[in-house]
């Protein structure tokens, strides 16, 4: 049996084991309201739609406006999947984060996904331990990649995790150890810290800060503030930084601490991915689902998914909010 036939059979078997059911509701998911301000964006009775389920661990949701589709990663299966406007599920890209033929364990696939200012797909590749760009159009995906950056001062990254661009085109990303096969104890780990980086448009790589488990990151709409999630169960927090005129960050302050909620019944998950609405409202995955904050750090509500929730994304018109939650891909409609 040749390799093409084997790969085709794997795809068919995997898609058969998964399901896409855009009209199904997740019955144990609900919305908690703590401040009426959230009602400007969310109807508290809006249902959680199951777009797909049956994956190993979903991450990196990204809405593609021109394709009218959502793509997301399944990290352990080294794949990116696509859900089109009709709710149909298909394999978008494989391999996505590990391109070597040498077998290895761990979380090898791509994690965070975004588009650069030219509309090209940029991804955090866990297995290849680098930031990369897909070297093909969005509507013709191929596992051919351009290496954007893979080392800091000659040492390989741990496993880039999430990424965002500022309006000037500088690329910011985090580098925790989750993609290494043995995490912090992996003998292949070359850096003795976990960093937050900026790759500037001139090619300069800047280490912005180090924290214990840097993860999701986002800018405020005016780019005056920069938020980073720390997915450390011993210090499960979000930090806020001020952004300087040159794009660098300083003056780290604690935005919100959820350490007390970690591992409590009904509160699966840690601070992970986040997105910020054009109103400035912050949607951040954390223990129990998605926490919704105003810019001052007041908790407006929680989207209780019933799962460890990894990341989230808005549609371009902000009428739909997508969530990757363990083996699920979910959505709710916004006002």
**Per-residue pLDDT at 8 exceeds 50:** no
Residues 6+ apart with CB under 8 A from 188: 156, 180, 181
Residues 6+ apart with CB under 8 A from 168: 201, 247
Mean predicted confidence (pLDDT) in 295-308: 98
Whether 256 contacts 242, CB under 8 Å: no
Q: Could you count the other beta carbons within 10 Å of the beta carbon of residue 301?
A: 23
Phi, psi (deg, nearest 5) at residue 184? -65, -25
For residues 129 and 107, what is the distance between their CA atoms, to the nearest angstrom?
Answer: 11
What whole-number percentage of the chain has pLDDT above 90?
Answer: 93
**Per-residue pLDDT at 11 exceeds 60:** no
Burial 179-199 (b: 16+ CB within 10 A, else e): bbbeeeeeeebebeebbbbbb
The per-residue pLDDT for 22 is 56
Q: Mean pLDDT over all residues of the chain?
A: 94
Q: Where are the domains of the chain?
A: 3-26+50-266
For residues 154 and 136, what is the distance between their CA atoms, to the nearest angstrom?
Answer: 28
For residues 284 and 228, what is the distance between their CA atoms, to the nearest angstrom?
Answer: 10
Q: Which of 258, 250, 223, 226 is nearest to 240 (CA)?
A: 226
What whole-number percentage of the chain has pLDDT above 70?
Answer: 93
pLDDT category, 6, cuts 50, 70, 90?
A: very low
pLDDT tens-digit readout, 178-222: 999 999 999 999 999 999 999 999 999 999 999 999 999 999 999
The per-residue pLDDT for 20 is 59
CATH architecture of the domain with range 3-26+50-266: 6 Propeller (2.120)
pLDDT tens-digit readout, 223-235: 999 999 999 999 9
Mean predicted confidence (pLDDT) in 93-102: 97
């Amino acid at each position: 049996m040749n390799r093409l036939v084997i790969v085709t059979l794997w795809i068919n078997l995997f898609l058969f084991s998964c399901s896409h059911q855009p009209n199904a509701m997740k019955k144990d998911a609900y919305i908690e309201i703590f401040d009426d301000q959230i009602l400007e964006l969310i109807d508290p009775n809006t249902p959680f739609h199951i777009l797909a389920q049956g994956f190993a661990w979903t991450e990196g949701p990204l809405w593609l406006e021109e394709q009218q589709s959502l793509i997301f990663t399944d990290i352990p299966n080294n794949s990116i999947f696509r859900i089109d406007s009709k709710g149909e599920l298909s394999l978008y890209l494989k391999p996505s984060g590990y391109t070597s033929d040498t077998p290895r364990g761990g979380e090898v696939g791509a994690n965070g996904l975004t588009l650069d200012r030219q509309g090209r797909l940029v991804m955090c590749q866990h297995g290849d331990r680098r930031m990369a760009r897909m070297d093909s159009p969005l509507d013709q995906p191929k596992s051919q990649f351009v290496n954007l950056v893979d080392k800091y001062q000659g040492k390989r990254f741990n496993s880039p995790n999430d990424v965002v661009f500022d309006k000037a085109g500088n690329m910011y990303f985090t580098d925790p150890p989750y993609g290494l096969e043995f995490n912090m104890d992996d003998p292949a780990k070359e850096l003795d810290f976990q960093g937050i980086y900026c790759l500037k448009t001139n090619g300069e790589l800047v280490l912005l800060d180090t924290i214990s488990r840097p993860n999701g990151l986002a800018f405020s709409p005016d780019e005056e503030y920069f938020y980073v999630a720390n997915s450390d169960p011993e210090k499960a927090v979000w930090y806020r930084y001020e952004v300087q005129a040159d794009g660098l960050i300083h003056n780290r302050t604690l935005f919100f601490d959820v350490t007390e909620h970690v591992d409590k019944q009904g509160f699966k998950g840690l601070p992970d991915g986040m997105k910020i609405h054009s109103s400035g409202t912050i949607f951040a995955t954390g223990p129990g689902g998605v926490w919704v904050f105003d810019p001052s750090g007041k908790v407006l509500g929680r989207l209780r998914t019933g799962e460890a929730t990894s990341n989230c994304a808005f549609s371009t018109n902000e009428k739909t909010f997508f969530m990757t939650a363990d083996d699920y891909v979910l959505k709710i409609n916004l006002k």
